């Protein structure tokens, strides 16, 4: 940071990335502030400046003490420890210290009391909501939603015929010949624990998944124009069932609501869809497998005359960006679902789906909306 930039920041006042402090007298309080920045988007604590932006300045002794306090707090009072950067500046109103805290890579960060803080505007707030805590542990790779047990979703609720067919196809022998209970078999496959199916097990193999997980469906709507209009649509469906059923029905919904082109095929042929089938398969499968299952919301599948939108709960995890995923980078949010998907869906994983879809049909936009906590795919319809 340069002096001119710092003066501009002070002139603009505090915000979620910049906080002013006249001095530092409490190491525990400082640790809470640094943890909040680490758990959010990072930022700067500017010391030697009042809340109103007036520069009070720091003495040489204060600068030495505060630098030492910062080092101690970052090492001993923030868990896990962080590595902030400090800079001293000589400004017209006095000397100030800029403490820079980067966005954390191993969230959540806690203070010495074990509390988790995040930035809330120019202030901070303590995280207490279960869903928010779950997402933070999810980002750190400490917990995965698809491994969470589903209340009252007992292993006896699986579709035995569907499961047995899958098991024999994949492993070459009958599930009945494993000499262990089906419940133990499901647990060995990381689909259940203590006789309860987890989210992955329920979505993949339960006979009626929505009895236990009613919001994990696809809401599909086809509109007659280019905008969402109240009570006006040409087709609408709440797509339910096992994940394989949801995938096939969602794909069928889109295919039945877009144009088909005959090209060189015979007169009686249904023709090829205006958007290649592989594109729809890849993007619908990605939405089902990689959505955030800690969020109680459905996937939205919207067909307009000029585009198709697939809206998934949860923005891209961790440090992934739209440009990353276009290059094939991936971060597995739901490892159990991702491990079974290639055996149940036309899904290959490893970040190749997005690249394959773009190669087959480049007119696709990806929007990572972190404020609304959604990820949106827009497939533009040519000639519409």
Give the CATH number, domain containing residue 285: 3.30.565.60
Same domain (yes/no): 180, 282: no
Confidence of residue 310 (pLDDT cuts 50, 70, 90): very high
Is the pLDDT confidence value at 141 over 90?
Answer: no
Asked if 130 and 180 count as a contact pair (C-beta separation under 8 A), the reply is: no
Same domain (yes/no): 235, 200: no
Same domain (yes/no): 85, 191: no
Same domain (yes/no): 257, 304: yes
Asked if 354 and 282 count as a contact pair (C-beta separation under 8 A), the reply is: yes
Residue 98 lies in a domain: yes
Same domain (yes/no): 188, 123: no
Same domain (yes/no): 335, 285: yes
> Comparing 255 with 127, which gets the higher pLDDT?
255
Kindly report the average pLDDT of the chain as a whole number.
91
Confidence of residue 327 (pLDDT cuts 50, 70, 90): confident
How many CB atoms neighbour CB 123 within 10 A? 11
pLDDT of residue 259: 93
Same domain (yes/no): 186, 86: no
pLDDT of residue 273: 93
Residue 85 lies in a domain: yes
Residue 138 lies in a domain: no
pLDDT of residue 268: 59
Same domain (yes/no): 291, 323: yes
Is this structure's pTM higher than 0.85?
no
pLDDT of residue 19: 95
Q: Which of 128, 163, 188 is the last residue of a domain?
A: 128
Q: Which of 187, 211, 235 is the last residue of a domain?
A: 211
Average pLDDT over every residue of 367-376: 92
Long-range contacts of 376-380 (CB under 8 A, 24+ apart): 376/309, 376/310, 376/311, 376/312, 377/283, 377/287, 377/309, 377/310, 377/311, 377/312, 378/307, 378/308, 378/309, 379/275, 379/279, 379/280, 379/283, 379/307, 379/308, 379/309, 379/310, 380/306, 380/307
Residue 199 lies in a domain: yes
pLDDT of residue 317: 81
Domain count across the chain: 3
Average pLDDT over every residue of 149-154: 95
Same domain (yes/no): 235, 374: yes
Residue 134 lies in a domain: no
Average pLDDT over every residue of 261-282: 81
> What is the tens place of the pLDDT at every residue in 22-64?
999 999 999 999 999 999 989 999 999 999 999 999 999 999 9
Residue 249 lies in a domain: yes
Of 220, 222, 270, the residue nearest 249 (C-alpha): 220
pLDDT of residue 230: 62
**Could you tell me what percent of the chain has a pLDDT over 90?**
75
Q: Which of 81-90, 113-122, 263-272, 283-292 has the lowest mean pLDDT?
A: 263-272
Same domain (yes/no): 179, 226: no
> What is the tens place of the pLDDT at every residue in 231-267?
788 999 999 999 999 999 999 999 999 998 876 655 5
Structure tokens at 165: 């067919």
**Could you tell me what percent of the chain has a pLDDT over 70?**
95
Domain of 224 in residue numbering reads as 218-380
> Comparing 330 with 198, which gets the higher pLDDT?
198
Is the pLDDT confidence value at 353 over 90?
Answer: no
Contacts (Cβ under 8 Å, ≥6 apart) of 129 = none
Same domain (yes/no): 200, 225: no
Is the pLDDT confidence value at 352 over 90?
Answer: no
Residue 284 lies in a domain: yes
Q: At what angle do helices 243-256 and 335-344 cross, to 10 degrees?
A: 60
Average pLDDT over every residue of 201-222: 97
Q: Distance between CA atoms of 271 and 266, rounded to whole angstroms?
A: 8
pLDDT of residue 333: 87
How many CB atoms neighbour CB 212 within 10 A? 19
- Among 107-111, 167-171, 245-249, 326-330, top mean pLDDT goes to 245-249
Q: Which of 211, 229, 256 is the last residue of a domain?
A: 211
Residue 80 lies in a domain: yes
Q: Distance between CA atoms of 177 and 227, rounded to whole angstroms?
A: 55
Same domain (yes/no): 176, 51: no
> Comparing 350 with 287, which gets the higher pLDDT?
287
Give the CATH number, domain containing residue 101: 3.30.950.30
pLDDT of residue 337: 95
């Amino acid at each position: 940071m340069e002096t001119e930039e710092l003066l501009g920041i002070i002139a603009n006042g505090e915000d979620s990335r910049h906080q002013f402090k006249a001095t530092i007298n409490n190491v525990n309080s400082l640790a809470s502030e640094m943890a909040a920045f680490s758990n959010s988007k990072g930022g700067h604590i500017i010391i030697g400046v009042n809340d109103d932006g007036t520069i009070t300045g720091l003495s040489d002794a204060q600068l030495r003490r505060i630098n030492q306090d910062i080092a101690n707090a970052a090492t001993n009072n923030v868990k896990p420890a962080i590595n902030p950067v400090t800079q001293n500046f000589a400004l017209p109103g006095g000397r100030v210290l800029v403490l820079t805290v980067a966005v954390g890579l191993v969230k959540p960060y806690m203070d010495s009391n074990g509390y988790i803080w995040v930035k809330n505007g120019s202030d901070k707030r303590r995280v207490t909501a279960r869903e928010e805590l779950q997402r933070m542990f999810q980002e750190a790779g400490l917990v995965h939603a698809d491994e969470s047990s589903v209340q009252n979703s007992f292993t006896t609720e699986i579709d035995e015929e569907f499961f047995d067919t899958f098991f024999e196809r994949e492993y070459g022998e009958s599930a009945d010949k494993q000499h262990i209970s089906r419940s133990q078999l499901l647990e060995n496959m990381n689909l259940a624990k203590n006789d309860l199916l987890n989210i992955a097990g329920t979505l993949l193999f339960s006979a009626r998944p929505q009895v236990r997980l009613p919001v994990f469906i696809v809401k599909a709507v086809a509109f007659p124009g280019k905008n969402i209009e109240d009570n006006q649509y040409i087709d609408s469906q709440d797509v339910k069932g096992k994940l394989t059923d949801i995938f096939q029905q969602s794909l069928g919904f889109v295919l039945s609501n877009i144009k088909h082109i005959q090209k060189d095929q015979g007169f009686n042929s249904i023709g090829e869809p205006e958007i290649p089938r592989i594109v729809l398969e890849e993007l619908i499968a990605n939405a089902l497998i990689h959505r955030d299952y800690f969020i109680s919301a459905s996937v939205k599948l919207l067909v307009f005359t000029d585009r198709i939108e697939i809206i998934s709960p949860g923005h891209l995890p961790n440090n992934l960006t739209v440009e990353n995923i276009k290059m094939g980078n991936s971060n597995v949010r739901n490892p159990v679902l991702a491990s079974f998907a290639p055996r149940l869906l036309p899904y290959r994983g490893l970040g190749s789906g997005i690249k394959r879809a773009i190669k087959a049909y480049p007119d696709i936009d990806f929007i990572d909306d972190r404020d609304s906590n959604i990820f949106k795919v827009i497939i533009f319809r040519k000639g519409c």
